Structure 1
Amino acid sequence: MALKRPSLGNMSSVDLEDEECTDVQLALADCLWTTARDGAVRLRMEETGIAAEPPITTLQLFQRTVQLCGNKPALATKRGGQWETTTYLQYYQQCRAAAKSFLLLGLEPFHGVGILGFNSAEWFIADIGAIMAGGLAVGIYATSSPEACQYVAANCEANVLVVENHQQLVKILEIEDQLPHLKAIVQYHDELNEERAGLYTWKDFMELGTGVPDSKLDNIIASRKANQCCTLIYTSGTTGRPKGVMLSHDNITWVTKAFGESLNLTDNEVTVSYLPLSHVAAQILDIWIPICFGGTTYFANPDALKGTLVSTLQEVRPTTFFGVPRVWEKIQEKMKDMGSKSSFIKQKISSWAKKIGLGANYNRMNGCGRCLVGCMIRIHQPQEDGAGEICYWGRHVFMGYLNMPEMTMEALDEEGWLHSGDLGKLDQDGFLYVTGRIKELVITAGGENVPPVPIEDALKEELPIISNAMLVGDQRKFLSMLLTLKCTVDVDTGEPQDDLTAEAIQFCQQLGSSATRVSEVIGTKDPAIYEVIQEAMDRVNQKALSNAQKVQKWAILGKDFSIAGGELGPTLKLKRPVVLSMYEKVIDGFYVS
């Protein structure tokens, strides 16, 4: 798909003469999957529609946007209280500079560049620079332990690791002797606390490759194929060793285009980057959709999930915003907290405004929840209620798990359908309802499969004082539930405190309780609180599909779940095996005769 190059003032300052977005050649491949780092796959293309779109690499996508939007702001970072922007042309040039430096440091084809830190322009540049240099971009969760970092870096055979600061650097220095492929470490924020061979500041790193010829980099960029791997996304490892999910260039570029067009995105899109970039959703929405449509990405503060995200959103006013369920719950809690302190008139106006906004957004979302155009969904082995495992087919399906053929074949069946592990059902209009995970199913001693999420969500909807609810009872005679109350959080450490939130305190007061701390509620088994929880549990149980799905016992835990405590993952997803281990005695207590 050759594009005409528009006249963009300083476009001549970047070498694009040999990098036109021409039709890409695909690497030879007969199979729909591979586990080899330098392997290629047969693309799941269709004869018509968006699934028939010609494949392009991520680098061709970037080049196209530079040609069309070179002087537009691509990235925005707040420094000294002011937003500083980077244009698409500057962004592209910096990625090329990083790529040259990676080459000088000895990055080998299809070897990893691990990136460990909070979202920033440097994170993006390292990611794309690694792909330009022929390597594999590999995000590592900033909350990872040294052991977890070692596993990912060794698995992808990382030649270079890019870390945010000294705190992250210490993790790598602790395990670098266990990384035989590692050649260099780059720290992108703050000054180095020590000087040593193979350790670079971001400034020094970006200047390293100035002597690498443009032609060498251009040849590598031109050699990349759309059906080869460019990025590894590692699973969280909550149910076993993390797996390196291999994503091809086409996986990224096709999904970006299809998703963006389904939402009618334009070149005026503004987004805020705050969720871990090790997660594929954050990479697509923060890095690649803006590149595809010429939008602007603003970087939130590192303490975004500790309370500053709301102020950033108010200032930036993004046109699109993505949040995991827990993030939306936190925003809702903050709104309720502020609303409870407002006057009667303000509360009335706020309620009216929220009702209007809700209706408008329902209208905008009309049609969401159906299969993405160009993709297919089917329900594997549906039960009587129509629920079963959700399976996917399309150009969004991954290449395979790096060096894990057995695990890959467990995920992909003989026809190439991806078995997601998610439970769900389709209604008569084609809308998909996701009800849980197969591995999260609680299987009672009587053999009944119980999806925990709907029951947990139903209770939280009944009780605004509940922060987290976790159903337990696997291989037990009946179901029980662990509950936590909404409490304040230490903004520096992320640790949950004993003090209840203002919303929770107001809830207690409405019941006639004077409790202001979690310990007070538990210590006295506050009759008002315990009674209202039991009443809510009874209402949830009345809606149960069978007696086996009713919750018979419950307990309030002494502190809320958190990332710092280990109960929640980087995206605030509940780590069920961790919670089961941490509260084993409490759970066993439910089943003492």
Structure 2
Amino acid sequence: MPRTVDPSFVDLLTPSFAQLFLDRVAASSPREAFRYPVDGGQGDGWESVTWAEAGERVTRLAAGLLSLGIEPEQRVGIVSSTRYEWVLADLAIMCAGGATTTVYPSTNTEDTAFILTDSDSQVVFAEDDEQVKKLLERRGDLGSVRKVVTLTPVTSDAGDWLISLEELAELGDAHLAEHPDAVTSTVAAIGPDRLATLIYTSGTTGRPKGVRLKHSSWVYEGEVIKAQGILGEDDLQFLWLPMAHSFGKVLLSSQLACGFATAIDGRVDKIVDNLGVVKPTFMGAAPRIFEKAHARIVTMQAAEGGAKEKIFTQAFKVGLEVDRLKLAGKSVPLPLRVQHALFDKLVFSKVRERFGGRVRFFISGSAALNSEIAQWFHAAGILILEGYGMTENAAGATVNHPDDYKMGTVGPAMPGSEIKLGEGDEVMLRGPHIMDGYHNLPEETAKALTPDGWLHTGDKGSIDADGFLTITGRIKELFKTSGGKYIAPPAIESKFKAICPYASQFMVFGEERNFVVALVTLDPDAIAGWAAENGLDGKSYTEIVRAPATREMVGGYVEQLNERLNRWETVKKWELLDHDLTIESGELTPSMKVKRNVVAANNKDRLEAFYS
């Protein structure tokens, strides 16, 4: 059972995220803190860094920022993908008393300029030439930005406006020579209510909104994980999530509180390869990663055919039945236990090995995970713990515990915080993790926060007798047909992706219409394998999705879906798009959520044609 946590622990929290880091350096000095890839990251191509080494590097960089004149709560931007240097920059900003402003590397030039000007950022860390180019193109609008620090070598020339990370560290050395206690005294002065981060929500409409989060919010997020005994010093995390997203920051907070090591590589296409090399004990991810992994394994076995496919199918049939009995508190008959042990050796151990073989659990967040996919992984001995939260509450509001979980739920409220259901079953949150408000947007803040501190999440949910929360949909995404029936698109969409291993996105529409329709995209990697087996080898993605055989295959899965739905939910018409949705196209947020309104606008004529 999970450790019982006295909510009063909140009153004893470390004052700041910066102090949390310095305390961890002092407590775990010789232990490994981070590792990052060199020469592609294969085999021994990973560099390891101790807490002492990380502390020394962060102190130099923080002193460099102080030498540039960074004052308490002044914003410093980071425009970069997830990498070790991102973490160094963030920790240095914290220890210099500044506030980190995050910008996704995929953010376009216009929005990048908006975020940096709206936040009044004074210094910006930029990853490479691509990110520096965005800043140079809008330099005239970035009047507050005094210096740009590059995380990797660049060819761009902007005079002394650009300096390297090492040059910033050298400025720090000079500052520390004159003021040896500059960083420690700065950290000591940071209180829990100081601004720590401005994270701009990518949103699905309009300009990004800057969410103001205090040091106390991030300290709470890390310490509450430690207090529950979910993670410890001997764990090893693999971190690929966008650090510009609040989920990534929560995982960093947890690392500082708990003391485990983290292997960092933000290249999404290297996740599976990295897991095999790093062999982590846990990882946080968005549901799309688990959907892709599930589809890849299932389609590979289907391609094998014959006896191997039959063994694979029977293994999961047995695994799911054993799980069903155990979760119901019933004993597993001896013949079934024997079969399960055999299949664990033949099938499940190989599935676990694909993820490094040491995973204690995965943490899924940022969107709903289909329960059938969660059950499939569980049958193979891989536990996926769902959590729930949003940027406005520092990402972590609830989480299932490794020793006390309910699949299909996102777990109970974190100790020291509260959840209730408001009007229309809207999930409401209150606690030390809640934002101060939206930057420069008092009216939006008033809409989101009640006078007594409750946050409107915009999510619809239910809470069971044990306090476990289930998210049933996004209130704004629920729609009513012309027949008066309410439809929850995410529930239908996740069911399809659990059935069809080739699906990337399945988007349901039909507001004020007399039936439901869908737009479908296929996963390019998965469908390429299917195409090779079905006479379409070498064809482009567009050619594959236009082929009659592909439409017939997808149609079969739509029929299977409709068999599982209420009559008014069934998908009467659907169409395959000739491209998958991407962040670059503006149809996905950087956290891989579908911008439904953008997809609808881009396909307005196609959607109208369904009802002609």
Question: Is residue 563–residue 570 contact of structure 1 (8 Å, CA) maintained in 2?
Answer: yes
How far apart are 1:72 and its partner, in Å? Answer: 1.0
Mapping 1:430-445, distance limit 5 Å: 430-445=467-482
How far apart are 1:111 and its partner, in Å? Answer: 1.9
Mapping 1:70-109, distance limit 5 Å: 70-80=29-39, 81=41, 82-109=45-72
In structure 2, the partner of 1:281 is 247
User: Unpaired runs of 5+ in structure 1?
Assistant: 1-45, 383-387, 489-498
What are the Cα deviations for residues 404-452 of structure 1, in whole angstroms up to 9, with x where unaligned?
Answer: 2111111111221111111111123322111221222234456654221
| Residue of 273, 276, 291 corresponding to 1:311 | 273
Opposite residue 573 of structure 2, the aligned amino acid is: K
Please give the secondary structure, in 2, of the residue aligned with 1:502: helix
What are the Cα deviations for residues 6-39 of structure 1, in whole angstroms up to 9, with x where unaligned?
Answer: xxxxxxxxxxxxxxxxxxxxxxxxxxxxxxxxxx
How far apart are 1:121 and its partner, in Å? Answer: 2.0
- 1:480 and 2:517 correspond: yes
In structure 2, the partner of 1:291 is 256
Relative to 1, partners in 2 of residues 1:520 and 1:252: Cα closer, same or farther, differing over 3 Å?
closer
| Residue of 552, 558, 565 corresponding to 1:528 | 552
In structure 2, the partner of 1:584 is 604
Relative to 1, partners in 2 of residues 1:241 and 1:574: Cα closer, same or farther, differing over 3 Å?
same
Question: Is residue 463–residue 536 contact of structure 1 (8 Å, CA) maintained in 2?
Answer: no
How far apart are 1:575 and its partner, in Å? Answer: 1.3
Distance in 2 between residues matched to 1:356 and 1:412, nearest whole Å: 38
Opposite residue 216 of structure 2, the aligned amino acid is: D
In structure 1, the partner of 2:107 is 144
Distance in 1 between residues matched to 2:222 and 2:550, nearest whole Å: 51
| Mean Cα deviation higher: 83-92 or 469-478 | 469-478
Mapping 1:204-283, distance limit 5 Å: 204-212=167-175, 213-283=179-249
Q: Aligned residues: percent identity? A: 27
Opposite residue 187 of structure 1, the aligned amino acid is: T
In structure 1, the partner of 2:286 is 324
- 1:375 and 2:340 correspond: no
How far apart are 1:554 and its partner, in Å? Answer: 1.4
Distance in 1 between residues matched to 2:551 and 2:13, nearest whole Å: 65
Structure 1 consecutive aligned stretches of length 4 or more whose deviation exceeds 6 Å: 512-516
How far apart are 1:255 and its partner, in Å? Answer: 1.3
Question: Is residue 545–residue 577 contact of structure 2 (8 Å, CA) maintained in 1?
Answer: no
In structure 2, the partner of 1:553 is 573
How far apart are 1:359 and its partner, in Å? Answer: 6.8
| Mean Cα deviation higher: 275-284 or 528-537 | 528-537
In structure 2, the partner of 1:59 is 18
How far apart are 1:119 and its partner, in Å? Answer: 1.6
How far apart are 1:332 and its partner, in Å? Answer: 1.5
Mapping 1:462-477, distance limit 5 Å: 462-477=499-514
| Mean Cα deviation higher: 471-480 or 318-327 | 471-480
Question: Is residue 485–residue 518 contact of structure 1 (8 Å, CA) maintained in 2?
Answer: no
Distance in 2 between residues matched to 1:173 and 1:503, nearest whole Å: 45
What are the Cα deviations for residues 459-516 of structure 1, in whole angstroms up to 9, with x where unaligned?
Answer: 223333322100112343432111122323xxxxxxxxxx92325766x69xx99999
Please give the secondary structure, in 2, of the residue aligned with 1:395: coil
How far apart are 1:113 and its partner, in Å? Answer: 0.8
- 1:415 and 2:452 correspond: yes
Distance in 1 between residues matched to 2:224 and 2:142, nearest whole Å: 38
Question: Is residue 541–residue 578 contact of structure 2 (8 Å, CA) maintained in 1?
Answer: no
Opposite residue 500 of structure 1, the aligned amino acid is: I
In structure 2, the partner of 1:502 is 529
Distance in 1 between residues matched to 2:60 and 2:297, nearest whole Å: 44
Opposite residue 185 of structure 2, the aligned amino acid is: N
In structure 2, the partner of 1:394 is 431
How far apart are 1:137 and its partner, in Å? Answer: 0.8
Opposite residue 227 of structure 2, the aligned amino acid is: E
In structure 1, the partner of 2:9 is 50
In structure 2, the partner of 1:358 is 379
The normalised TM-score by structure 1 is 0.81
Please give the secondary structure, in 2, of the residue aligned with 1:416: coil
Question: Is residue 135–residue 230 contact of structure 1 (8 Å, CA) maintained in 2?
Answer: yes
What are the Cα deviations for residues 522-548 of structure 1, in whole angstroms up to 9, with x where unaligned?
Answer: 35376733641452243144x35xx3x
How far apart are 1:374 and its partner, in Å? Answer: 1.9
| Residue of 94, 111, 116 corresponding to 1:153 | 116
How far apart are 1:181 and its partner, in Å? Answer: 0.7
Distance in 2 between residues matched to 1:519 and 1:462, nearest whole Å: 23
Distance in 2 between residues matched to 1:448 and 1:53, nearest whole Å: 50
How far apart are 1:185 and its partner, in Å? Answer: 0.6
Relative to 1, partners in 2 of residues 1:315 and 1:178: Cα closer, same or farther, differing over 3 Å?
same
Question: Is residue 13–residue 223 contact of structure 2 (8 Å, CA) maintained in 1?
Answer: no
Relative to 1, partners in 2 of residues 1:132 and 1:351: Cα closer, same or farther, differing over 3 Å?
same
In structure 1, the partner of 2:28 is 69
Distance in 2 between residues matched to 1:312 and 1:521, nearest whole Å: 31
Relative to 1, partners in 2 of residues 1:126 and 1:391: Cα closer, same or farther, differing over 3 Å?
same
Relative to 1, partners in 2 of residues 1:225 and 1:562: Cα closer, same or farther, differing over 3 Å?
same
Opposite residue 560 of structure 2, the aligned amino acid is: A
In structure 2, the partner of 1:495 is none
RMSD after superposition: 2.8
What are the Cα deviations for residues 280-310 of structure 1, in whole angstroms up to 9, with x where unaligned?
Answer: 111111x22112111111122x5x32x2110
How far apart are 1:314 and its partner, in Å? Answer: 0.8
Distance in 2 between residues matched to 1:527 and 1:59, nearest whole Å: 55
Mapping 1:331-342, distance limit 5 Å: 331-342=293-304
Please give the secondary structure, in 1, of the residue aligned with 2:60: helix
Please give the secondary structure, in 1, of the residue aligned with 2:556: helix
Distance in 2 between residues matched to 1:437 and 1:258, nearest whole Å: 27
- 1:567 and 2:581 correspond: no
Relative to 1, partners in 2 of residues 1:467 and 1:263: Cα closer, same or farther, differing over 3 Å?
farther
How far apart are 1:256 and its partner, in Å? Answer: 0.8
